[in-house]
Chain A
């Protein structure tokens, strides 16, 4: 015997609410709302406030007034600011190139079958796991003008006759900090790229080998294109982290000697907090944004050219 189900009577208000909630657009907005609120509150608001402060003369303990571009005009004529811009670009470019070169090399090595593979991979992550300030203090000792272990070893080996002035000479200090940043950053790059390498199907290498491709050709025409999507993401993050680095510099040199190692982030802090000029500090921090946007756009979109990855010409 067939039973006919009658629709239950639903109040018109509930029916309307149900229809609204069934609408994909409404539903997606509701689902996104918590995340969007967090982003607005903790990212957009501070960013907006920082940009606004850059246009004011706010100081610690005193609200400021709008002064237009005065902070930026003042910075334009400030040699220390331009030195920090130069340092930041040098630091980011050289450290990123080295981190990627060495990180990729390490990832390729770790991708081979090695004894104690899991253990070695865990060890490789160590520099990244150690709190930055601790590794910075370790480097501070390593680079110490009087107690450097490097200088001590080289002197004992008879390779130098006086300790290297790692942090007292402007260019030595820059290279020393870059080396510390590279040491710290390689694991991040290597482990990310290793994850990417492991997603490449072995059949592609087998096919390439059958076609007579040598190791370099397999790397160039299989590994690199297949790795490119993850490479672009890792590069983007790495550039952002390096460009905004603060802890290493602050703990090792505090921007010295003679401001030779000030990055924009450390200079912004020095002017804003110990110096009390919050407006100017905010202006320096805001001045980092165009560089960061350019670096992000370049590394993210520039390296994600799908056609190129698939062997076709770029548009």
Chain B
């Protein structure tokens, strides 16, 4: 009975109505063409929402998110409670909500969360299609993250990106003008920095964000991959072994202790001046730039960002921390939930939010490439095109239980850590990863 009522309400409330284009712009460019669609939901009377999202890594993210939420409440009367959760605990909490059928109405989760419990999630196709038409289209990878069996089950909010973060003056001292664009050049630069007593460092502990992003990137850059297009496990390949050989050489240029690094370690070490480079979001630069400490302000001047070098495959092979917005079917207020997500994705909210977090999250919709944040400071620009260049967990296969399980079990991270540190040879590490991955992909 309740199902019938809910569907009924959706039919009544969720009509996509063509409307006049609003003459507002993103970064001076008219992002919404004449005749752009509008979408209105009939919000349920007395609706309230609980929203769960990752805890802030940069203050501007949370501040403006809460301001936007307050604006939404003022406009619609919908009371919204925003809860923040630690990065590592976000997945468990949303998974439990999915399983017990109770908890937040909306969860801004990680990566392929939506593909672990697709049947528990509300169909967001109308919303996704509306945003697609209005804001220049989704990047291809967003369809991978958001769609299952032809319908949208999650709306990608954006991705926290991984870029080379380095100290320009130290790189110059080591004999390099800018960060190399290829892997051979990068290794030489890292070796030169290490020789100058300025090592770099990348997380090799069970770090959900930093370790996963760079370990996947390096394996993919050489053509290695967990599975092929038919979800057959192919991680134990010559390409993977070549990637691991490279990782081993790169590891020799690291500061000691990176095997234990979790997500926050590289930020701390960089800000303390102990490492010359790392792969991270824009949060390191944000901390330095917004600090009142003159030393950190000077460091901000010296910080530069570069795109991840391209490997032998000849194209970008990046992984970034993607945030999908999901609405659980158990919500009493599906229209309000969808409308809240829509509201936050509209340029009036999205652009100020991106600005306040200096682009910590890169956009999933092409129109936001014009956001002023990407050009107001040239150091922001490398973070602009993350989602147009990234792949997905479990590449080149499908997203689902197996890809989520294999990633949660840190199979790729452990493989790279074992080979890099010399705990196992690259061949042994790849063979073990193959065995571990097969346990998930046989399911």
Chain A contact residues, CB within 8 Å of chain B: 57, 59-62, 74, 78-80, 143-147, 162-163, 165-170, 173, 253-259, 269-271, 273-278
Contacts and interface: CB of A to CB of B under 8 A. Distances in A.
B116 A276 contact: yes
Nearest to A259: B414
A275 B207 CA distance: 14
Contact of A276 (B88, B119, B405): B405
Interface residues of B, number: 46
Q: Which residue of A145, A147, A277 has the most chain B CB atoms within 10 A of its CB atom?
A: A145
**3 closest residue pairs by CB, A with B:** A145-B257, A61-B117, A167-B260
B408 interface: yes
18 contacts: A57-B443, A59-B116, A61-B117, A79-B432, A79-B435, A144-B265, A145-B265, A146-B255, A146-B257, A146-B268, A165-B256, A165-B257, A165-B259, A165-B260, A253-B260, A258-B423, A276-B117, A277-B440
A256 B206 contact: yes
B82 interface: no
Q: Is the interface of B mostly helix, strand, loop or mixed?
A: helix
Contacts of B409: 80, 270-271, 275
A270 B207 CA distance: 13
Contacts of A271: 405, 408-409
A277 B88 CA distance: 17
A274 B414 contact: no
A61 B274 CA distance: 44
Interface stretch (B94-102, B283-291, B312-320, B369-377): B94-102
B256 A60 contact: no
B147 interface: no
B205 interface: yes
Contacts of A258: 259, 414, 417-418, 421, 423
Contacts of B443: 57, 277
A211 to B, nearest CB: 56
Interface string B169-206: 00000000000000000000000000000000000111
B260 A173 contact: yes
B293 interface: no
A300 B418 CA distance: 41
Contact of B408 (A62, A253, A270): A270
A93 to B, nearest CB: 24
Interface in B286-316: none
A119 B272 CA distance: 40
Contacts of A78: 436, 439
B408 A275 contact: yes
Contacts of B410: 256, 259
A60 B204 contact: no
A61 B259 contact: no
Nearest to B116: A276
Given A61-B99, A271-B409, A257 B260 contact: yes
A170 to B, nearest CB: 8
Contacts of B272: 146-147
Interface in B410-443: 410, 414, 417-418, 421, 423, 432, 435-436, 439-440, 443
Nearest to A274: B408
B116 A60 contact: yes
A162 B197 CA distance: 13
Nearest to A173: B260
B196 to A, nearest CB: 17
Contact of A145 (B99, B207, B261, B418): B261
Contact of A254 (B88, B116, B117, B258): B88
A275 B405 contact: yes
A60 B443 CA distance: 14
B126 to A, nearest CB: 23
Given A80-B436, A146-B265, A147-B268, A273 B91 contact: yes
Interface in B195-226: 204-207
Given A256-B206, A259-B410, 7 more contacts: A61-B98, A61-B119, A80-B436, A168-B256, A256-B259, A273-B92, A277-B443
B400 to A, nearest CB: 10
Nearest to B400: A276
Given A253-B205, A274-B92, A275-B408, A59 B401 contact: yes
A162 B408 contact: no
Contacts of A254: 88, 205-207, 262
Contacts of A259: 410, 414
B117 A60 contact: yes
B336 to A, nearest CB: 23
Contacts of B404: 275-276
